[in-house]
Structure 1
Protein backbone atom coordinates (compact mmCIF):
# COMPACT_ATOMS: atom_id res chain seq x y z
CA UNK A 1 0.00 0.00 0.00
CA UNK A 2 1.26 3.45 -0.88
CA UNK A 3 1.00 6.02 1.87
CA UNK A 4 -1.06 8.91 0.50
CA UNK A 5 -0.52 11.41 3.30
CA UNK A 6 2.30 12.04 5.75
CA UNK A 7 1.79 13.60 9.18
CA UNK A 8 4.41 15.42 11.25
CA UNK A 9 4.80 14.99 15.00
CA UNK A 10 5.45 18.69 15.63
CA UNK A 11 3.29 21.33 17.24
CA UNK A 12 -0.50 20.81 17.37
CA UNK A 13 -1.07 23.69 14.97
CA UNK A 14 1.23 22.15 12.38
CA UNK A 15 -0.24 18.69 12.96
CA UNK A 16 -3.70 20.01 12.14
CA UNK A 17 -2.57 21.27 8.75
CA UNK A 18 -3.15 18.91 5.86
CA UNK A 19 0.10 17.86 4.28
CA UNK A 20 0.50 17.63 0.52
CA UNK A 21 -0.26 14.32 -1.15
CA UNK A 22 2.71 12.13 -1.85
CA UNK A 23 2.73 10.92 -5.42
CA UNK A 24 2.74 7.17 -5.77
CA UNK A 25 5.81 5.51 -7.20
CA UNK A 26 5.76 4.91 -10.98
CA UNK A 27 5.50 1.15 -10.53
CA UNK A 28 2.52 1.53 -8.20
CA UNK A 29 0.82 3.93 -10.61
CA UNK A 30 1.29 1.49 -13.46
CA UNK A 31 -0.02 -1.42 -11.42
CA UNK A 32 -3.08 0.68 -10.58
CA UNK A 33 -3.87 0.93 -14.31
CA UNK A 34 -3.75 -2.85 -14.65
CA UNK A 35 -5.62 -3.59 -11.43
CA UNK A 36 -9.22 -4.79 -11.68
CA UNK A 37 -9.07 -5.76 -15.35
CA UNK A 38 -9.32 -9.28 -16.71
CA UNK A 39 -6.25 -9.80 -18.89
CA UNK A 40 -5.32 -12.88 -20.88
CA UNK A 41 -1.85 -14.42 -20.40
CA UNK A 42 -0.70 -12.79 -23.65
CA UNK A 43 -1.96 -9.40 -22.47
CA UNK A 44 -0.18 -9.85 -19.16
CA UNK A 45 3.06 -10.28 -21.10
CA UNK A 46 2.51 -6.80 -22.49
CA UNK A 47 1.80 -5.48 -19.01
CA UNK A 48 4.98 -7.10 -17.72
CA UNK A 49 7.02 -5.48 -20.50
CA UNK A 50 5.60 -2.07 -19.58
CA UNK A 51 6.51 -2.63 -15.95
CA UNK A 52 10.06 -3.62 -16.83
CA UNK A 53 10.66 -0.91 -19.48
CA UNK A 54 8.24 1.93 -18.69
CA UNK A 55 10.65 4.79 -19.45
CA UNK A 56 11.06 3.70 -23.06
CA UNK A 57 7.94 1.59 -23.67
CA UNK A 58 5.62 4.54 -23.07
CA UNK A 59 7.00 6.29 -26.16
CA UNK A 60 7.07 3.34 -28.55
CA UNK A 61 4.75 3.05 -31.51
CA UNK A 62 2.25 0.21 -31.51
CA UNK A 63 4.40 -1.56 -34.10
CA UNK A 64 7.56 -1.27 -32.02
CA UNK A 65 5.86 -2.31 -28.80
CA UNK A 66 4.31 -5.37 -30.45
CA UNK A 67 7.70 -6.35 -31.86
CA UNK A 68 9.49 -5.88 -28.53
CA UNK A 69 6.94 -8.01 -26.65
CA UNK A 70 6.60 -10.58 -29.42
CA UNK A 71 2.87 -10.18 -30.01
CA UNK A 72 0.74 -8.88 -32.89
CA UNK A 73 -0.42 -5.28 -33.24
CA UNK A 74 -4.07 -6.30 -32.76
CA UNK A 75 -3.02 -7.90 -29.46
CA UNK A 76 -1.69 -4.54 -28.27
CA UNK A 77 -4.93 -2.85 -29.35
CA UNK A 78 -7.00 -5.45 -27.49
CA UNK A 79 -4.75 -4.96 -24.46
CA UNK A 80 -5.49 -1.22 -24.43
CA UNK A 81 -9.21 -1.90 -24.79
CA UNK A 82 -9.13 -4.43 -21.97
CA UNK A 83 -7.74 -1.68 -19.72
CA UNK A 84 -10.65 0.58 -20.64
CA UNK A 85 -8.90 2.84 -23.15
CA UNK A 86 -10.33 3.78 -26.53
CA UNK A 87 -7.19 2.48 -28.20
CA UNK A 88 -3.42 2.33 -27.99
CA UNK A 89 -2.89 6.11 -28.43
CA UNK A 90 -5.04 6.79 -25.36
CA UNK A 91 -3.12 4.22 -23.35
CA UNK A 92 0.21 5.66 -24.43
CA UNK A 93 -0.95 9.14 -23.44
CA UNK A 94 -1.76 7.82 -19.95
CA UNK A 95 1.66 6.18 -19.74
CA UNK A 96 3.63 9.34 -20.63
CA UNK A 97 3.44 11.08 -17.22
CA UNK A 98 4.25 7.83 -15.45
CA UNK A 99 7.30 7.34 -17.65
CA UNK A 100 8.46 10.93 -17.12
CA UNK A 101 8.11 10.59 -13.35
CA UNK A 102 10.11 7.37 -13.54
CA UNK A 103 12.90 9.22 -15.36
CA UNK A 104 12.93 12.00 -12.77
CA UNK A 105 12.83 9.64 -9.80
CA UNK A 106 15.55 7.35 -8.59
CA UNK A 107 15.00 4.36 -10.86
CA UNK A 108 13.86 1.13 -9.32
CA UNK A 109 16.06 -1.84 -10.01
CA UNK A 110 14.53 -4.75 -11.95
CA UNK A 111 14.56 -6.69 -8.70
CA UNK A 112 12.65 -3.91 -6.91
CA UNK A 113 10.07 -3.70 -9.69
CA UNK A 114 9.52 -7.44 -9.60
CA UNK A 115 9.34 -7.44 -5.79
CA UNK A 116 6.67 -4.72 -5.86
CA UNK A 117 4.72 -6.62 -8.48
CA UNK A 118 4.84 -9.92 -6.62
CA UNK A 119 3.88 -8.30 -3.35
CA UNK A 120 0.97 -6.58 -5.08
CA UNK A 121 -0.19 -9.99 -6.30
CA UNK A 122 -0.18 -11.29 -2.74
CA UNK A 123 -2.01 -8.18 -1.54
CA UNK A 124 -4.70 -8.83 -4.16
CA UNK A 125 -5.10 -12.41 -2.92
CA UNK A 126 -5.41 -11.18 0.65
CA UNK A 127 -8.22 -8.89 -0.52
CA UNK A 128 -9.90 -11.87 -2.22
CA UNK A 129 -9.70 -13.87 0.99
CA UNK A 130 -11.13 -10.96 2.96
CA UNK A 131 -14.02 -10.84 0.50
CA UNK A 132 -14.59 -14.55 1.04
CA UNK A 133 -14.50 -14.05 4.78
CA UNK A 134 -17.29 -11.49 4.47
CA UNK A 135 -19.27 -13.86 2.24
CA UNK A 136 -19.05 -16.58 4.88
CA UNK A 137 -20.52 -14.20 7.43
CA UNK A 138 -23.73 -15.87 6.26
CA UNK A 139 -22.73 -19.54 5.94
CA UNK A 140 -26.23 -20.70 4.93
CA UNK A 141 -25.52 -20.96 1.15
CA UNK A 142 -22.36 -23.00 1.70
CA UNK A 143 -24.13 -25.25 4.21
CA UNK A 144 -27.00 -25.74 1.75
CA UNK A 145 -24.62 -26.71 -1.07
CA UNK A 146 -22.77 -29.13 1.19
CA UNK A 147 -25.99 -30.81 2.26
CA UNK A 148 -27.26 -31.13 -1.30
CA UNK A 149 -24.00 -32.65 -2.53
CA UNK A 150 -23.77 -35.01 0.43
CA UNK A 151 -27.20 -36.46 -0.31
CA UNK A 152 -26.65 -36.76 -4.07
CA UNK A 153 -25.47 -40.30 -4.80
CA UNK A 154 -23.78 -40.29 -7.21
CA UNK A 155 -22.49 -36.71 -7.30
CA UNK A 156 -21.00 -35.10 -10.40
CA UNK A 157 -17.97 -32.78 -10.19
CA UNK A 158 -17.24 -30.77 -13.32
CA UNK A 159 -14.14 -28.77 -14.24
CA UNK A 160 -12.51 -28.33 -17.63
CA UNK A 161 -9.40 -26.50 -18.84
CA UNK A 162 -7.92 -24.30 -16.08
CA UNK A 163 -10.65 -25.37 -13.64
CA UNK A 164 -9.56 -29.01 -13.75
CA UNK A 165 -7.10 -28.60 -10.90
CA UNK A 166 -9.70 -27.26 -8.44
CA UNK A 167 -12.23 -29.90 -9.50
CA UNK A 168 -9.63 -32.64 -8.97
CA UNK A 169 -8.77 -31.29 -5.52
CA UNK A 170 -12.43 -31.30 -4.52
CA UNK A 171 -13.12 -34.76 -6.00
CA UNK A 172 -10.03 -36.28 -4.38
CA UNK A 173 -11.10 -35.11 -0.92
CA UNK A 174 -14.82 -35.72 -1.46
CA UNK A 175 -14.18 -39.39 -2.26
CA UNK A 176 -13.01 -39.83 1.34
CA UNK A 177 -16.43 -38.90 2.71
CA UNK A 178 -18.84 -39.58 -0.19
CA UNK A 179 -19.58 -43.04 -1.66
CA UNK A 180 -19.83 -42.11 -5.35
CA UNK A 181 -18.06 -39.07 -6.81
CA UNK A 182 -17.95 -38.79 -10.62
CA UNK A 183 -15.22 -36.39 -11.81
CA UNK A 184 -15.77 -34.92 -15.29
CA UNK A 185 -12.86 -33.06 -16.87
CA UNK A 186 -13.78 -33.26 -20.57
CA UNK A 187 -16.40 -31.30 -22.43
CA UNK A 188 -18.64 -32.13 -25.36
CA UNK A 189 -20.44 -35.44 -25.70
CA UNK A 190 -18.14 -37.08 -23.12
CA UNK A 191 -19.41 -34.68 -20.45
CA UNK A 192 -23.02 -35.17 -21.55
CA UNK A 193 -22.73 -38.95 -21.31
CA UNK A 194 -21.17 -38.76 -17.84
CA UNK A 195 -23.81 -36.33 -16.57
CA UNK A 196 -26.61 -38.47 -17.98
CA UNK A 197 -25.19 -41.53 -16.22
CA UNK A 198 -25.09 -39.62 -12.93
CA UNK A 199 -28.76 -38.72 -13.30
CA UNK A 200 -29.83 -42.22 -14.33
CA UNK A 201 -27.94 -43.69 -11.37
CA UNK A 202 -29.99 -41.54 -8.97
CA UNK A 203 -27.82 -38.45 -8.67
CA UNK A 204 -29.48 -35.08 -8.17
CA UNK A 205 -26.65 -32.52 -8.03
CA UNK A 206 -23.52 -31.51 -9.91
CA UNK A 207 -20.81 -29.20 -8.58
CA UNK A 208 -19.12 -27.20 -11.34
CA UNK A 209 -16.01 -25.02 -11.27
CA UNK A 210 -15.66 -22.19 -13.78
CA UNK A 211 -12.59 -20.04 -13.38
CA UNK A 212 -11.67 -17.49 -16.06
CA UNK A 213 -11.11 -17.64 -18.93
CA UNK A 214 -14.56 -19.20 -19.24
CA UNK A 215 -14.69 -21.92 -21.86
CA UNK A 216 -17.41 -22.93 -24.29
CA UNK A 217 -16.96 -26.50 -23.06
CA UNK A 218 -17.97 -25.43 -19.56
CA UNK A 219 -21.04 -23.60 -20.81
CA UNK A 220 -22.12 -26.60 -22.88
CA UNK A 221 -21.58 -28.99 -19.98
CA UNK A 222 -23.61 -26.81 -17.62
CA UNK A 223 -26.45 -26.70 -20.11
CA UNK A 224 -26.20 -30.48 -20.52
CA UNK A 225 -26.43 -30.94 -16.75
CA UNK A 226 -29.65 -28.95 -16.69
CA UNK A 227 -31.03 -30.88 -19.66
CA UNK A 228 -30.47 -34.18 -17.87
CA UNK A 229 -32.40 -32.90 -14.86
CA UNK A 230 -29.46 -32.34 -12.50
CA UNK A 231 -29.31 -29.28 -10.30
CA UNK A 232 -26.06 -27.34 -10.49
CA UNK A 233 -23.98 -25.55 -7.85
CA UNK A 234 -21.39 -23.30 -9.52
CA UNK A 235 -18.12 -22.13 -8.00
CA UNK A 236 -16.78 -19.17 -9.96
CA UNK A 237 -15.04 -15.84 -9.48
CA UNK A 238 -17.97 -13.46 -10.06
CA UNK A 239 -21.47 -13.78 -8.57
CA UNK A 240 -23.00 -12.38 -11.78
CA UNK A 241 -20.47 -13.81 -14.24
CA UNK A 242 -21.32 -15.05 -17.73
CA UNK A 243 -22.12 -18.58 -16.52
CA UNK A 244 -24.15 -17.70 -13.43
CA UNK A 245 -27.49 -18.03 -15.23
CA UNK A 246 -26.83 -21.73 -15.87
CA UNK A 247 -26.68 -22.67 -12.18
CA UNK A 248 -29.20 -23.15 -9.39
CA UNK A 249 -26.76 -21.88 -6.75
CA UNK A 250 -23.71 -19.68 -7.36
CA UNK A 251 -20.89 -19.25 -4.86
CA UNK A 252 -18.12 -16.85 -5.80
CA UNK A 253 -14.57 -16.16 -4.69
CA UNK A 254 -12.22 -13.77 -6.46
CA UNK A 255 -9.18 -14.98 -8.38
CA UNK A 256 -5.80 -13.27 -8.39
CA UNK A 257 -5.06 -11.75 -11.79
CA UNK A 258 -1.84 -9.79 -11.29
CA UNK A 259 0.48 -12.55 -12.49
CA UNK A 260 0.78 -14.16 -15.91
CA UNK A 261 -1.62 -16.90 -14.78
CA UNK A 262 -4.43 -16.55 -12.28
CA UNK A 263 -4.05 -17.68 -8.69
CA UNK A 264 -6.83 -19.34 -6.72
CA UNK A 265 -6.31 -18.93 -2.99
CA UNK A 266 -9.90 -17.83 -2.27
CA UNK A 267 -11.61 -20.41 -4.54
CA UNK A 268 -9.60 -23.20 -2.90
CA UNK A 269 -10.61 -22.05 0.57
CA UNK A 270 -14.24 -21.81 -0.56
CA UNK A 271 -13.96 -25.35 -1.93
CA UNK A 272 -12.62 -26.57 1.41
CA UNK A 273 -15.58 -25.01 3.23
CA UNK A 274 -17.96 -26.93 0.97
CA UNK A 275 -16.12 -30.14 1.80
CA UNK A 276 -16.52 -29.30 5.47
CA UNK A 277 -20.24 -28.71 4.98
CA UNK A 278 -20.55 -32.07 3.21
CA UNK A 279 -18.80 -33.80 6.08
CA UNK A 280 -21.05 -32.10 8.64
CA UNK A 281 -24.23 -32.95 6.69
CA UNK A 282 -23.87 -36.71 7.32
CA UNK A 283 -21.43 -37.01 10.23
CA UNK A 284 -21.86 -40.74 10.85
CA UNK A 285 -21.17 -41.64 7.23
CA UNK A 286 -18.24 -39.22 7.19
CA UNK A 287 -16.65 -40.75 10.29
CA UNK A 288 -17.14 -44.31 9.09
CA UNK A 289 -15.60 -43.62 5.71
CA UNK A 290 -12.65 -41.70 7.14
CA UNK A 291 -11.88 -44.49 9.62
CA UNK A 292 -12.15 -47.12 6.92
CA UNK A 293 -9.76 -45.18 4.68
CA UNK A 294 -7.21 -44.78 7.48
CA UNK A 295 -7.22 -48.52 8.01
CA UNK A 296 -6.56 -49.14 4.33
CA UNK A 297 -3.86 -46.47 4.28
CA UNK A 298 -2.10 -48.04 7.27
CA UNK A 299 -2.34 -51.54 5.86
CA UNK A 300 -0.87 -50.60 2.49
CA UNK A 301 1.51 -47.92 3.86
CA UNK A 302 0.22 -45.12 1.62
CA UNK A 303 2.09 -42.42 3.51
CA UNK A 304 5.46 -41.85 5.12
CA UNK A 305 5.49 -42.18 8.91
CA UNK A 306 5.14 -39.00 10.94
CA UNK A 307 8.39 -37.72 12.36
Structure 2
Protein backbone atom coordinates (compact mmCIF):
# COMPACT_ATOMS: atom_id res chain seq x y z
CA UNK A 1 0.00 0.00 0.00
CA UNK A 2 1.39 3.43 -0.96
CA UNK A 3 2.22 6.14 1.56
CA UNK A 4 -0.93 7.66 3.00
CA UNK A 5 -3.14 5.16 1.16
CA UNK A 6 -6.16 3.81 3.01
CA UNK A 7 -8.18 0.71 2.17
CA UNK A 8 -10.64 1.31 -0.65
CA UNK A 9 -14.01 2.28 0.90
CA UNK A 10 -16.80 -0.20 0.27
CA UNK A 11 -18.88 2.22 -1.80
CA UNK A 12 -15.93 2.93 -4.06
CA UNK A 13 -15.14 -0.79 -4.34
CA UNK A 14 -18.72 -1.38 -5.47
CA UNK A 15 -18.56 1.42 -8.03
CA UNK A 16 -15.24 0.18 -9.43
CA UNK A 17 -16.30 -3.47 -9.48
CA UNK A 18 -19.60 -3.07 -11.30
CA UNK A 19 -18.01 -3.32 -14.75
CA UNK A 20 -16.78 -6.84 -13.97
CA UNK A 21 -20.04 -8.04 -12.42
CA UNK A 22 -22.70 -10.20 -14.04
CA UNK A 23 -26.06 -8.52 -14.78
CA UNK A 24 -27.55 -10.10 -11.65
CA UNK A 25 -24.64 -8.93 -9.50
CA UNK A 26 -25.01 -5.40 -10.86
CA UNK A 27 -28.57 -5.41 -9.52
CA UNK A 28 -27.15 -6.06 -6.06
CA UNK A 29 -24.63 -3.24 -6.55
CA UNK A 30 -27.34 -0.76 -7.54
CA UNK A 31 -29.47 -1.59 -4.50
CA UNK A 32 -26.47 -1.16 -2.21
CA UNK A 33 -25.47 2.20 -3.71
CA UNK A 34 -29.03 3.54 -3.79
CA UNK A 35 -29.46 2.91 -0.04
CA UNK A 36 -25.87 3.10 1.13
CA UNK A 37 -24.83 1.95 3.68
CA UNK A 38 -28.05 0.73 5.31
CA UNK A 39 -28.87 -1.85 2.61
CA UNK A 40 -25.58 -3.60 3.29
CA UNK A 41 -26.61 -4.42 6.85
CA UNK A 42 -29.69 -6.36 5.78
CA UNK A 43 -29.65 -10.15 5.69
CA UNK A 44 -28.54 -11.91 2.53
CA UNK A 45 -32.12 -13.04 1.92
CA UNK A 46 -33.61 -9.56 2.29
CA UNK A 47 -30.95 -7.91 0.13
CA UNK A 48 -31.45 -10.59 -2.52
CA UNK A 49 -35.21 -9.98 -2.48
CA UNK A 50 -34.75 -6.23 -2.88
CA UNK A 51 -32.43 -6.77 -5.83
CA UNK A 52 -34.61 -9.46 -7.37
CA UNK A 53 -31.80 -12.05 -7.36
CA UNK A 54 -30.92 -15.22 -5.46
CA UNK A 55 -29.03 -15.43 -2.17
CA UNK A 56 -26.00 -17.09 -3.81
CA UNK A 57 -25.80 -14.12 -6.21
CA UNK A 58 -25.37 -11.78 -3.24
CA UNK A 59 -22.61 -14.00 -1.84
CA UNK A 60 -20.86 -14.17 -5.22
CA UNK A 61 -21.04 -10.39 -5.43
CA UNK A 62 -19.34 -10.01 -2.04
CA UNK A 63 -16.67 -12.50 -3.06
CA UNK A 64 -16.08 -10.71 -6.36
CA UNK A 65 -15.30 -7.54 -4.45
CA UNK A 66 -12.62 -9.39 -2.52
CA UNK A 67 -14.46 -10.14 0.73
CA UNK A 68 -14.25 -13.62 2.27
CA UNK A 69 -18.01 -13.72 2.79
CA UNK A 70 -21.00 -11.55 3.63
CA UNK A 71 -20.00 -11.08 7.31
CA UNK A 72 -16.60 -9.82 6.10
CA UNK A 73 -18.40 -7.43 3.74
CA UNK A 74 -20.56 -6.12 6.59
CA UNK A 75 -17.53 -5.66 8.84
CA UNK A 76 -15.96 -3.53 6.10
CA UNK A 77 -19.15 -1.46 6.08
CA UNK A 78 -18.85 -0.94 9.85
CA UNK A 79 -15.25 0.19 9.39
CA UNK A 80 -16.45 2.58 6.68
CA UNK A 81 -19.00 4.10 9.04
CA UNK A 82 -16.23 4.80 11.53
CA UNK A 83 -14.22 6.48 8.77
CA UNK A 84 -17.19 8.48 7.49
CA UNK A 85 -17.74 10.05 10.91
CA UNK A 86 -14.07 10.55 11.85
CA UNK A 87 -13.28 14.01 13.24
CA UNK A 88 -9.93 15.82 12.86
CA UNK A 89 -8.96 14.82 16.40
CA UNK A 90 -9.87 11.19 15.65
CA UNK A 91 -7.58 11.25 12.63
CA UNK A 92 -4.81 12.96 14.57
CA UNK A 93 -4.94 10.49 17.48
CA UNK A 94 -4.96 7.55 15.05
CA UNK A 95 -1.94 8.95 13.23
CA UNK A 96 -0.02 9.39 16.49
CA UNK A 97 -0.85 5.83 17.53
CA UNK A 98 0.22 4.38 14.17
CA UNK A 99 3.34 6.46 13.59
CA UNK A 100 5.43 5.03 16.45
CA UNK A 101 9.02 6.10 15.89
CA UNK A 102 8.40 7.27 12.32
CA UNK A 103 10.58 10.30 11.48
CA UNK A 104 8.99 13.72 11.43
CA UNK A 105 7.13 14.24 8.16
CA UNK A 106 8.94 16.37 5.62
CA UNK A 107 8.49 17.87 2.21
CA UNK A 108 9.38 14.63 0.44
CA UNK A 109 6.76 12.64 2.33
CA UNK A 110 4.13 15.32 1.61
CA UNK A 111 4.97 15.23 -2.10
CA UNK A 112 4.73 11.42 -2.20
CA UNK A 113 1.38 11.29 -0.41
CA UNK A 114 -0.12 14.14 -2.45
CA UNK A 115 1.05 12.68 -5.75
CA UNK A 116 -0.32 9.25 -4.88
CA UNK A 117 -3.66 10.67 -3.74
CA UNK A 118 -4.05 12.66 -6.96
CA UNK A 119 -3.21 9.65 -9.10
CA UNK A 120 -5.70 7.40 -7.30
CA UNK A 121 -8.38 10.09 -7.52
CA UNK A 122 -8.14 10.39 -11.29
CA UNK A 123 -7.79 6.63 -11.76
CA UNK A 124 -11.06 6.10 -9.85
CA UNK A 125 -13.08 8.74 -11.71
CA UNK A 126 -15.60 7.33 -14.15
CA UNK A 127 -15.14 9.16 -17.50
CA UNK A 128 -18.86 9.03 -18.18
CA UNK A 129 -19.61 10.77 -14.87
CA UNK A 130 -17.11 13.53 -15.63
CA UNK A 131 -18.54 14.03 -19.13
CA UNK A 132 -22.09 14.09 -17.74
CA UNK A 133 -21.10 16.83 -15.27
CA UNK A 134 -19.64 18.95 -18.07
CA UNK A 135 -22.75 18.35 -20.22
CA UNK A 136 -25.00 19.64 -17.44
CA UNK A 137 -22.82 22.67 -16.72
CA UNK A 138 -22.61 23.64 -20.39
CA UNK A 139 -26.31 23.31 -21.24
CA UNK A 140 -27.58 26.63 -22.60
CA UNK A 141 -30.07 28.62 -20.53
CA UNK A 142 -29.58 26.29 -17.57
CA UNK A 143 -29.40 27.96 -14.18
CA UNK A 144 -26.60 26.65 -11.97
CA UNK A 145 -26.49 26.89 -8.17
CA UNK A 146 -23.30 25.95 -6.31
CA UNK A 147 -22.88 25.31 -2.57
CA UNK A 148 -20.45 23.64 -0.19
CA UNK A 149 -19.81 23.12 3.48
CA UNK A 150 -17.58 24.54 6.19
CA UNK A 151 -14.33 23.92 4.31
CA UNK A 152 -15.51 22.71 0.90
CA UNK A 153 -17.42 25.96 0.48
CA UNK A 154 -14.10 27.52 -0.57
CA UNK A 155 -13.90 25.13 -3.52
CA UNK A 156 -17.57 25.62 -4.31
CA UNK A 157 -17.01 29.37 -4.61
CA UNK A 158 -13.92 28.79 -6.76
CA UNK A 159 -15.95 26.67 -9.19
CA UNK A 160 -18.82 29.16 -9.24
CA UNK A 161 -16.57 32.17 -9.85
CA UNK A 162 -14.84 30.48 -12.79
CA UNK A 163 -18.13 29.33 -14.29
CA UNK A 164 -19.48 32.87 -13.96
CA UNK A 165 -16.60 34.06 -16.17
CA UNK A 166 -17.43 31.67 -19.02
CA UNK A 167 -21.25 31.46 -18.93
CA UNK A 168 -24.25 33.32 -17.48
CA UNK A 169 -26.75 31.99 -14.97
CA UNK A 170 -24.36 30.79 -12.25
CA UNK A 171 -25.05 31.52 -8.56
CA UNK A 172 -22.81 30.79 -5.59
CA UNK A 173 -25.29 30.13 -2.79
CA UNK A 174 -24.73 32.11 0.42
CA UNK A 175 -23.67 30.22 3.52
CA UNK A 176 -26.44 31.66 5.71
CA UNK A 177 -29.90 30.09 5.60
CA UNK A 178 -31.86 33.24 4.76
CA UNK A 179 -29.75 33.98 1.70
CA UNK A 180 -30.03 30.39 0.49
CA UNK A 181 -33.80 30.41 0.86
CA UNK A 182 -34.09 33.49 -1.31
CA UNK A 183 -31.65 32.14 -3.92
CA UNK A 184 -33.29 28.73 -4.38
CA UNK A 185 -36.94 29.65 -3.79
CA UNK A 186 -37.58 29.47 -7.53
CA UNK A 187 -35.61 26.28 -8.10
CA UNK A 188 -37.22 24.24 -10.88
CA UNK A 189 -36.81 21.39 -13.30
CA UNK A 190 -33.91 22.00 -15.68
CA UNK A 191 -31.79 23.77 -13.06
CA UNK A 192 -28.49 22.25 -11.91
CA UNK A 193 -27.41 22.19 -8.26
CA UNK A 194 -23.71 21.52 -7.64
CA UNK A 195 -22.92 20.40 -4.09
CA UNK A 196 -19.69 19.71 -2.23
CA UNK A 197 -20.13 17.36 0.75
CA UNK A 198 -17.32 15.60 2.65
CA UNK A 199 -17.06 13.69 5.91
CA UNK A 200 -18.50 14.63 8.40
CA UNK A 201 -21.38 15.20 5.98
CA UNK A 202 -23.38 18.36 6.61
CA UNK A 203 -27.13 18.46 7.08
CA UNK A 204 -27.73 21.84 5.35
CA UNK A 205 -26.10 20.50 2.19
CA UNK A 206 -28.23 17.36 2.35
CA UNK A 207 -31.36 19.50 2.70
CA UNK A 208 -30.39 21.39 -0.45
CA UNK A 209 -30.03 18.08 -2.29
CA UNK A 210 -33.45 16.94 -1.08
CA UNK A 211 -35.03 20.20 -2.27
CA UNK A 212 -33.33 19.86 -5.65
CA UNK A 213 -34.67 16.34 -6.13
CA UNK A 214 -38.14 17.41 -5.01
CA UNK A 215 -38.10 20.23 -7.58
CA UNK A 216 -36.67 17.81 -10.20
CA UNK A 217 -33.44 19.76 -10.63
CA UNK A 218 -30.25 17.86 -11.52
CA UNK A 219 -27.62 17.32 -8.81
CA UNK A 220 -23.86 17.14 -9.32
CA UNK A 221 -22.04 15.95 -6.20
CA UNK A 222 -18.37 16.41 -5.33
CA UNK A 223 -17.61 14.09 -2.40
CA UNK A 224 -15.03 11.74 -0.90
CA UNK A 225 -14.50 8.03 -1.51
CA UNK A 226 -16.87 7.12 1.34
CA UNK A 227 -19.66 8.96 -0.51
CA UNK A 228 -21.96 11.52 1.02
CA UNK A 229 -25.54 10.32 1.66
CA UNK A 230 -26.45 12.62 -1.24
CA UNK A 231 -24.73 10.19 -3.64
CA UNK A 232 -27.70 7.83 -3.77
CA UNK A 233 -29.88 10.59 -5.28
CA UNK A 234 -27.32 12.57 -7.30
CA UNK A 235 -27.26 12.53 -11.10
CA UNK A 236 -23.47 12.75 -11.14
CA UNK A 237 -20.98 11.76 -8.42
CA UNK A 238 -17.34 12.91 -8.57
CA UNK A 239 -15.47 11.35 -5.62
CA UNK A 240 -11.89 12.06 -4.56
CA UNK A 241 -9.39 10.33 -2.31
CA UNK A 242 -8.53 11.86 1.06
CA UNK A 243 -4.92 10.78 1.72
CA UNK A 244 -3.14 13.81 3.14
CA UNK A 245 0.24 14.76 4.63
CA UNK A 246 -1.75 16.18 7.54
CA UNK A 247 -2.41 13.99 10.55
CA UNK A 248 -5.76 15.65 11.21
CA UNK A 249 -7.30 16.85 7.97
CA UNK A 250 -8.40 15.22 4.73
CA UNK A 251 -6.80 16.34 1.47
CA UNK A 252 -8.60 19.00 -0.54
CA UNK A 253 -5.98 19.10 -3.31
CA UNK A 254 -7.66 16.23 -5.25
CA UNK A 255 -10.99 18.08 -5.10
CA UNK A 256 -9.32 21.21 -6.47
CA UNK A 257 -7.78 19.13 -9.26
CA UNK A 258 -11.18 17.78 -10.30
CA UNK A 259 -12.70 21.26 -10.11
CA UNK A 260 -9.96 22.65 -12.36
CA UNK A 261 -10.45 19.76 -14.80
CA UNK A 262 -14.19 20.51 -14.95
CA UNK A 263 -13.55 24.23 -15.50
CA UNK A 264 -11.05 23.53 -18.27
CA UNK A 265 -13.39 21.15 -20.08
CA UNK A 266 -16.34 23.53 -19.74
CA UNK A 267 -14.30 26.38 -21.23
CA UNK A 268 -13.24 24.10 -24.08
CA UNK A 269 -16.77 22.87 -24.66
CA UNK A 270 -18.33 26.37 -24.66
CA UNK A 271 -15.65 27.67 -27.02
CA UNK A 272 -16.61 30.99 -28.63
CA UNK A 273 -19.45 31.43 -26.14
CA UNK A 274 -16.95 31.31 -23.28
CA UNK A 275 -14.58 33.77 -24.93
CA UNK A 276 -17.44 36.17 -25.70
CA UNK A 277 -18.62 35.95 -22.10
CA UNK A 278 -15.10 36.65 -20.77
CA UNK A 279 -14.78 39.71 -23.04
CA UNK A 280 -18.14 40.97 -21.78
CA UNK A 281 -17.12 40.51 -18.14
CA UNK A 282 -13.76 42.15 -18.79
CA UNK A 283 -15.38 45.14 -20.47
CA UNK A 284 -17.87 45.57 -17.64
CA UNK A 285 -15.01 45.44 -15.13
CA UNK A 286 -13.15 48.20 -16.98
CA UNK A 287 -16.29 50.34 -17.13
CA UNK A 288 -16.66 50.00 -13.37
CA UNK A 289 -12.99 50.81 -12.83
CA UNK A 290 -12.24 47.41 -11.31
CA UNK A 291 -9.57 46.34 -13.81
TM band (smaller chain):
0.5 to 0.7
Q: 1:273 to 1:281 in 2, by over 3 A?
A: same
Identify unmatched segments of 5+ residues in structure 1: 3-35, 55-101, 103-107
8 Å CA contact retained: 2:197, 2:223 = yes
The answer on 1:144 being equivalent to 2:132 is yes
Q: Is the counterpart of residue 114 in structure 1 residue 75 in structure 2?
A: no
Task: Kindly name which structure, 1 or 2, has the bigger radius of gyration based on alpha carbons.
Answer: 1
Q: Is 1:256–1:264's contact at 8 Å kept on the other side of the alignment?
A: no
Instruction: Name 2:143's counterpart in structure 1.
Output: 154
**Which of 114, 131, 143 matches 2:120?**
131
Deviation of 1:177 after TM superposition, in Å, equals 0.8
Write out aligned runs for 1:141-290 (5 A).
141-151=129-139, 152-186=141-175, 191-199=180-188, 203-238=190-225, 240-259=227-246, 260-290=248-278
Whether contact under 8 Å (1:149, 1:206) holds in the other structure is no
Structure 1 residues 258 and 40 mapped into 2: Cα distance closer, same or farther (>3 Å)?
A: farther
Let me know the Cα RMSD of the aligned residues: 3.1
Unaligned runs of 5+ in 2: 4-81
1:43 paired with 2:54, answer: no
- The count of residues paired between Structure 1 and Structure 2 equals 209
**What is the alpha-carbon distance in structure 1 between the residues aligned to residue 186 and residue 286 of structure 2?**
34
CA distance in 2, matches of 1:122, 1:242: 31
Paired residue secondary structure (1:113): coil
Mapped contact 1:231–1:247 kept (Cα < 8 A): yes
Instruction: Note the C-alpha offset of 1:140.
Output: 3.6
Give the whole-Å Cα distance in 2 for the aligned partners of 1:295 and 1:188. Answer: 33
Q: TM-score if structure 2 supplies the norm length?
A: 0.61
Question: Which deviations, in whole Å up to 9, do the C-alpha atoms of 1:246-267 show, x marking residues without a partner?
Answer: 2111111212345122221111
Q: SS where residue 156 of structure 1 aligns?
A: strand
State the match for 2:9 in structure 1: none
Distance 1:223-1:119 versus aligned 2 partners, 3 A rule: farther
- Describe the SS at the equivalent of 2:172: strand
User: For residues 114 and 163 of structure 1, do their structure 2 counterparts lie closer, same or farther at Cα, with a shift above 3 Å needed?
Assistant: same
Q: Which has the higher contact order (CA 8 A, sep 6+)?
A: 2
How far residue 212 of structure 1 moved from its aligned partner, in angstroms, is 2.1
Cα distance in structure 1, aligned partners of 2:237 and 2:120: 15
